[in-house]
A and B are shown apart, each in its own frame.
Chain A
Amino acid sequence: MIWMGATVAFLPSCVYRQDQVHMQLKHLQINPDQEKLLASLADEIIPATQTPGATDLGLHFFALKMVDDCYDSVGRDQFMSGFKAFAENRSADNALTLEKAAADQKMAGFVNGYRSLIVRGYKQSEYYMTKVVPYKLVPGGYKGCIPVTAAATT
C-alpha cells in the first residue's frame, strides 16, 4: 500500500482511541462522530474501487487541515455550520446524498467546499501524482504542440 505514505504527514502523534479524533486541530472542534461522518462523506465523493479512495489516502484529514489552517475564521464558521446542518439532515434522513444537499442553500457551501477539498487532495496526493497522472519534478523540456493522444503527463 505504497500510497499510504501520503497520509503520514497528517496523522497526529497521539494514538487513536474510541473517544478521540484522529488529528489535532487548532481551531475546529470535531468530535469522533463528526470525524466518522466526514470520513464516510469523503468516500462518498471518491470511493475506494480497484484503487484507493478518499479515506485510504487520508483525504478527510487533508480537508480538515486545510479548513483549520487556511480558512479564515468566517470561512471556518461557515464550513462548520454547513456541516452541522448536513449532519442533522442526514441523521433525520439517511438517504440524503451530498448531491441532493448541494441544492440546499444551507448546506451547499459546505458540500461544494468539502468536495473541492477532497478532489484537490486526491489530485495532489502522492498516489495520484505517481500512479494516475504522474508528476515529473524534472520534466527536462516542453513540447508546445503534440497530439492529445500522445500526451502522457501533465
Chain B
Amino acid sequence: MAPLEHYLILSAVLFSLGVVGVVVRRNAIVVILCIELMMNGANLAFVAYGRYLDSMAGQMIVFFVMAVAAAEAAIGLAIVVLIYRNHESTDLDEINLLKL
C-alpha cells in the first residue's frame, strides 16, 4: 500500500498540469479538457484522504463532483459549438467580443 503522501503528490501533479494547460493552450476544447484534469486531481485527493481517515465523505464528494463535471462539459461544449458557428474558430485569442 503506497503511503498517503504519494497519492497527494500525484494529485498535486495532475492539478498543476491542468493549470498549466489552461494558461498555455489556446484551443477552447483543450482548455475545458484541462479543467476536467484539475477536477480529477482534486478527486484523487478526496478519495485518498477518505481512505486514510476512515471516512466515506471523500467518495461521496467525488460522486457529486462527477455530476458537476458532466453538466460543465455539456454546457461548455455547447458554448464552444456556438462560438465555432459564429467565428469559424475556437481559438481563445481571437474571441474578444467583450473586450473594449
Q: Do these two chains interact?
A: no
Which residues of B line the A interface, CB within 8 A? none
| Residues of A near any B CB (own CB < 8 A) | none
